[in-house]
């Protein structure tokens, strides 16, 4: 396997909490998929989970060589984490199209969070 990209991101949980507080549903729907919103809202410390997913989306986009900017929808990167399992990345839209041009790739993702910070690292490999 050949590593073709590495991305990492750290975000303050308080920052994401403020965005949710100020912009509520508008922010959530612009950044997260319905499944991600349901998952995070079902957790004890939802803000930490939202922040971890924000960091994960940013890390994946950086690893793909297309950091977040206008025209890139954060909902095109979905983080799915079944209880106790490693997170899986699902791509849609133009982000999925970019990955198709890279050939068959595998995205490995690690996320972590505490009350203050959430972090994620993504590695994109050609299989």
The reported pLDDT for the residue numbered 101 is 86
- Name the pTM for this structure: 0.92
The reported pLDDT for the residue numbered 69 is 63
The reported pLDDT for the residue numbered 83 is 63
The reported pLDDT for the residue numbered 81 is 84
CATH number at residue 119: 3.90.470.20
Domain total in the chain? 1
Residue (of 115, 107, 99, 123) closest to 52 by Cα position: 115
Q: What residue ranges of the chain have pLDDT lower than 70?
A: 67-71, 83-84
Strands 2-12 and 117-126: antiparallel
Range of the domain at 91: 2-126
The reported pLDDT for the residue numbered 5 is 94
The reported pLDDT for the residue numbered 1 is 84
The reported pLDDT for the residue numbered 72 is 76
| Structure tokens that stand for 105 in this block | 């790739």
Contact 55, 119 (CB under 8 A): yes
């Amino acid at each position: 396997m050949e590593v073709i990209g590495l991305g990492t991101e750290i975000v303050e949980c308080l920052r994401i909490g403020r965005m949710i507080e100020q912009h509520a549903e508008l922010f959530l729907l612009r950044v997260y998929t319905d499944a991600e919103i349901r998952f995070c809202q079902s957790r004890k410390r939802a803000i930490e989970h939202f922040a971890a997913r924000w960091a994960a989306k940013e890390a994946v986009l950086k690893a793909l060589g297309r950091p977040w900017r206008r025209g890139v929808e954060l909902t095109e990167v979905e983080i799915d984490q079944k209880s106790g399992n490693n997170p899986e990345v699902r791509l849609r839209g133009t982000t999925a199209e970019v990955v198709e041009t890279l050939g068959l790739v595998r995205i490995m993702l690690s996320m972590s969070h505490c009350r203050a910070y959430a972090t994620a690292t993504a590695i994109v490999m050609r299989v």
